[in-house]
Structure 1
Amino acid sequence: MTSHKLILDYLNTQGLKLNEQEIQILLLAVQAVIERGQAAIERSVLWYDQNGVRLEDYLTANDDRHACLKQIFMALDSVYERTRPQSAAVYLKPADSASLVRVSQQGLALEPVLPLDESAAIRHLASRCAQTGWLNQADDAAYWLSLNELQGEHNLRSASQISLPVHLENGRVLGVVHAEYAQAHAIDDAALAEWVALALSLVEPMHELAGITETEEEKE
């Protein structure tokens, strides 16, 4: 699928009214970082061990996956630097797991693992996004909590947040891009376009990490 059609399909599916050409430029910029980035990243940063959670407990380490994690890290870092949220993360939905697993982050630490059970969607925007395949944007987290659209005090650590699905052409969700801001109503169209471009750019490395076989894709 061409990047033009990829963008239009994503915008139409998610009901977004953004400038397709602007996203095309942003997507090319992120893809350039992924393809040409030469940053030296310590293995312990990519394959983290945080509060007893080890990424290697969810992903078997090998050279190909290490390369994918590096690509995701560089892509997330590039968008984080331009949009300046207080936290940003990329979560993977492994083929054989009932949880989202954080594979990259910037800024203040976010949960390394998020559940995908019945109660998770009301507590974690990223879990809701992974379960439904829909972008979720809470421009005023406190207001969402007051309406019971979100639950849990952890949602008060930020004033606004957004979760965007990373998915295949057939709609299968590979993971989620999640960002949190200190200010309410911080996610304008310019920032939203950046996060959409990131979600689109991560399809290939996330597909590799998810470990989805061609047979499994055909079942979707």
Structure 2
Amino acid sequence: MDSRDATRIRVLVCDDQVMIRSGFVTIIDAQPDMEVVGECSDGRAAVELAGRTAPDVVVMDVRMPVLNGIEATRQLAGAGVAAPVKVLVVTTFNLDEYVYEALRAGASGFLLKDAPPDQLLSGIRTVAAGTSLLAPEVTRSLVGRFASRIRVDDAVPDDLPLTARELEVLRLLAEGMSNGEIAASLVISHETVKTYVSRILTKLDLRDRVQAVVFAYRSGLVAL
């Protein structure tokens, strides 16, 4: 394998609709910085194939036979997984209720199946780089629509390892603000916000902004 191959984003595509799966594979494989290392039609096969091919990103459908995309995502990227794989959920429905569950299961973000090819490719690159795909306006819509479904599991622990300013940043993050909006709201620099977000994720052992938003709502830090 040459150096160019070594730098490619390894992608596994899982969708039970053959035409959609084939379309994704064709689009992804045509990119100089990506390669499809496998494709399958159900969640169980995705989990098994991911173990053999070590993808950087799994493009995952939600509604599939044998094992759905939510449970497959949980097995690939959920809490306690020794070597979590980044998962990009793709759904037919805008803010489908299953998408929220997939994000809770460990997905790094989601796209609609009818999104333009450039959005799919950008999404894969974004997730591969370790960044959440949820744009601020999508976060607002997601939380707004599904607030009644979010179960507050536990009260905020007394020993939550965040400073007062970090808690403030987390609350604004959960409200759907971008780093720029948080910076303007708190009158601090964009770089300072990035530092706070990084500290929050590290202290709470969270992978990305998606998990931070879910944590904030489920722990009661932000009122529903």
**Fold shared, TM-score > 0.5 on shorter chain:** no
Looking at both structures, which has the greater relative contact order when contacts are Cα pairs under 8 Å and sequence separation is at least 6? Answer: 1
Taking structure 2 as the reference length, what is the TM-score of the superposition?
A: 0.24
Answer with 1 or 2: which has the greater Rg. 2
